[in-house]
């Protein structure tokens, strides 16, 4: 069998720079030497795949973060759903999405988060779901609140959900954050502002009544575009 084709180069114009002055931590952790481009071999262009592979590796899906404990968490229940597609808008099935977020008071269940906000004994804020045959995913959670951080004086992160996507290959792994529409903190956020302005709104979910469920939860749509294969050259 021939090796699968390598992935195309990512479009650097879309991505935030590794070092962004306003996002202080990025400056100290960014590489100071030129990057070395690693050629894509079989290791980079493949990954875990096949029916049920993620369940075998990671355990069953956790799609409802409001039912991980004996009681119901405090806060606004929401449904977040969307599609995972490649750069040619083709659905990508079998992608594992991992979710991490703060609770409705803006507090993480993490030893480094000790700020003055309550933990919720009924909310951990971590979940996991695999896209279906049409690249769709859906999770149920609690809308996270903003939280303070140490970037500059009186800095607060907008409400957000962390996502990590492990796709069909290690080369199209994607880690990002989803924000909520109309958040007054979004334009002030140093992490979001590191993304070039023309592409920044791609990080904001769309409020969607089709995703909402009557007397249960409001809904948001958020799609992901994974790095795709080299497009076949077209003859003009
Ligand atoms: Fe966060």
Mean pLDDT of 48-62: 88
Ranges of H-type helices in 142-203: 190-193, 197-200
| Residue 161: count of CB within 10 angstroms of its CB | 25
Whole-number Å distance, alpha carbon 101 to ligand 1 midpoint, is 6
Whole-number Å distance, alpha carbon 156 to ligand 1 midpoint, is 10
Whole-number Å distance, alpha carbon 3 to ligand 1 midpoint, is 38
Q: Residues with catalytic annotation? A: 108, 147, 157, 160, 162
pLDDT, tens only, 192-235? 999 999 999 999 999 999 999 999 999 999 999 998 776 665 66
Quick one: pLDDT at residue 236? 45
Whole-number Å distance, alpha carbon 162 to ligand 1 midpoint, is 6
| Between residues 166 and 232, the one the model is more confident about | 166
CA–CA gap between residue 94 and residue 131 (Å, rounded): 5
Whole-number Å distance, alpha carbon 227 to ligand 1 midpoint, is 24
Domain residue extents for the chain: 24-226
First-last CA distance in the chain: 31
* Phi, psi torsion values for 86, nearest 5 degrees: -95, 180
**Per residue, what are the HEC states of the chain?**
CCCCCCECCCCCCCCCCCCCCCCHHHHHHCCCCCCCCCCCCHHHHCCCCCCCHHHHHHCCCECECCCCCCCCCCCCEEEEEEEEEECCCCECCCCEEEEEECCCCCCCCCCCCCCCCCCCCCCCCEEEEECCCCCEEEEEEECCCCEEECCCCCEEECCEEEEEEECCCHHHCEEEEEECCCCCCHHHCHHHHCCCHHHHHHHECEECCCCCECCCEEEEECCEEECCECCCCCCC
Strand, coil or helix: what is 122?
coil
pTM value is: 0.93
Strand, coil or helix: what is 219?
strand
pLDDT, tens only, 65-89? 999 999 999 999 999 999 999 988 9
Assess whether pLDDT exceeds 80 at residue 9: no
Q: Could you tell me which CATH number the domain at 24-226 has?
A: 2.60.130.10
Q: Give me the percent of the chain exceeding a pLDDT of 90.
A: 74
């Amino acid at each position: 069998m021939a090796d699968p084709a390598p992935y195309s180069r990512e479009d650097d114009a879309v991505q935030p720079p590794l070092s962004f002055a306003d996002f202080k931590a990025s400056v100290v952790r960014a590489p100071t030497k030129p990057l070395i481009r690693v050629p894509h071999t079989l290791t980079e262009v493949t990954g875990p795949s096949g029916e049920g592979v993620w369940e075998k590796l990671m355990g069953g899906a956790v799609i409802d973060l409001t039912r991980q404990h004996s009681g119901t968490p405090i806060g606004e229940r929401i449904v977040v759903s969307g599609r995972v597609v490649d750069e040619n808008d083709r659905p990508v099935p079998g992608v594992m999405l991992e979710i991490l977020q703060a609770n409705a008071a803006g507090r993480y269940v993490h030893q480094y988060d000790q700020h003055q906000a309550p933990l919720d004994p009924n909310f951990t804020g971590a979940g996991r779901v695999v896209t279906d045959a049409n690249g769709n995913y859906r999770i149920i959670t609690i809308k996270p609140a903003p939280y303070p951080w140490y970037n500059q004086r009186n800095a607060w992160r907008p409400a957000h959900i962390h996502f990590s996507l492990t796709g069909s290959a290690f080369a199209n792994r994607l880690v990002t954050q989803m924000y909520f529409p109309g958040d007054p903190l979004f334009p002030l956020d140093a992490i979001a502002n590191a993304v070039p302005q023309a592409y920044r709104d791609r990080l904001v979910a769309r409020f969607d009544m089709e995703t909402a469920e009557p007397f249960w939860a409001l809904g948001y749509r958020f799609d992901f575009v994974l790095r795709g294969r080299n497009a076949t050259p077209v003859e003009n």
